[in-house]
Amino acid sequence: MISLNDLGPRKKRYDKILLMYSGGLDTSCMLQWLQETYGAKVYTFTADLGQEFADPTRFKQIEEKAKKLGAIKHFTVDLKKIFVNNYIFPTLKANGLYQGVYPLSTAVGRPLIAIEAVKIAKRERIEVLAHGCTGKGNDQIRINVTAQAHAPEMEVLQPLIEWNMGRDEEIKYAMQHNIPISTQNKKYSTDENLFGRSAECDILERPEIEPPEDSKEWTISPENAPDKPEYLKISFKEGIPVGLNDDVLKGVELIKRVHDIGCNHGIGRIEHMEDRAIGLKSRETYEVPAALILIKAHQDLEKYVCTKHENSFKSIVDQRWTELVYEGLWVDPLREDLEAFINEVNKKVNGTVTVKLFKGNADVVARESAFGIYDLNLATYETKSSFNQKYSYGFIPLFGLQSRMGYITKNKLKKEKE
């Protein structure tokens, strides 16, 4: 039987702790609190997942802030290429939209952060990890499950659960300890990476109220977007985007370019009621311009080159893959099992897709592929069509046979009851 003590930290003092540090309100308060509470030497780690679009010097600022608050040593690790190749591209191949809406922008970054944290901890002989996830969200599952799968011997602390401070109390704590707080952090809790941005807290917790404009940081409002549409021609090879407007690009650069263009047209603003893994219904808001554009383009091309049976079955596979990743089970063997099928299907997802961007909308308007299951000679309504319409005389009676028989039988039963 598990006691409440078993669910929390197993001892009161630690020698060394590695904190996954973003530089925001939560983890900055945490850095101070861990030193006070456990008497530990705290090391900090920040993952560069491409989140600093506007200010590349931000990582240096985060390091300086961590050391000023008492960090013994700080690690900033550039994980952008790994993030794109091993996490974002599989998401594109799986058309990863949780509940048909959310493109897993935050979800796919968490396992990578946990894995890198374990590597650093092992190298520095640290046996305790800590992170800034609450007990209400999905990120705690994503990080804890991944870290404990890669290092079962390591303990993972969740200070936000232990200290039981609300956001209002965190701000007071920060002021008492002279911890700098950004203007944005005073109002919203945000998370960013190359694939998207999320914002929570304050008025965003009221689903009956439209998200205010100040909760957005990347995208221009659709109303203020250009009055002229812009077209993106995206090239794919085996389901992976490899070119933009005839320029051959590596993953990180391609995503950044699509991001910039999408932001300028107000693309990727999402808000919806999300079902979290732990059972809570949560109002979530995102800015995901690159993710939305690329998934839409990929999904359209994939549909074009696959049979209806492949498309139908893959939609089931995609949904299960997406649920696993969203719920924090990246390490589950089923994910790789599903990816075996996903990768096989994507071998023929080669070609180009043209996406029209206009006033917050991203619409696929054209596609081209040598593997497209489309024949103009068959599909055209012109007289020259090679499709033999007389086949319909035999096809329709056979195709609808059981449906007709079922309908007749059902009505017989109704009449008998009458």
Beta-carbon contacts of residue 402 (< 8 Å; ≥ 6 apart): none
Pairing between β-strand 41-48 and β-strand 74-78 as defined by DSSP bridges: parallel
Measured distance CA(297)–CA(62) in Å, rounded: 36
User: Is the CB of residue 291 less than 8 Å from the CB of residue 103?
Assistant: yes
- Would you state the structure tokens that stand for residue 403, as one six-digit string? 């449906």
Measured distance CA(307)–CA(372) in Å, rounded: 10
User: Is the CB of residue 353 less than 8 Å from the CB of residue 237?
Assistant: no
Measured distance CA(186)–CA(166) in Å, rounded: 12
C-alpha distances out from residue 275 to 101, 138, 194, 213, 280, Å: 12, 10, 24, 24, 6
Active site residues: 26, 110, 139, 189
Measured distance CA(147)–CA(331) in Å, rounded: 10
The DSSP string of 86-148 is IIIHHHHHTT--BTTTB--TTTTHHHHHHHHHHHHHHHTT--EEE----SSSSHHHHHHHHHH
Residue 398 host element (H or E)? helix 392-399
Q: What are the E-state strand segments in 276-417?
A: 281-287, 351-358, 361-368
Measured distance CA(329)–CA(377) in Å, rounded: 47
User: Is the CB of residue 288 less than 8 Å from the CB of residue 196?
Assistant: yes
Residue type, 77: V
User: Is the CB of residue 203 less than 8 Å from the CB of residue 194?
Assistant: no
The DSSP string of 226-269 is -SS-EEEEEEEETTEEEEETTEE--HHHHHHHHHHHHHHTTTTE
User: Is the CB of residue 270 less than 8 Å from the CB of residue 102?
Assistant: yes
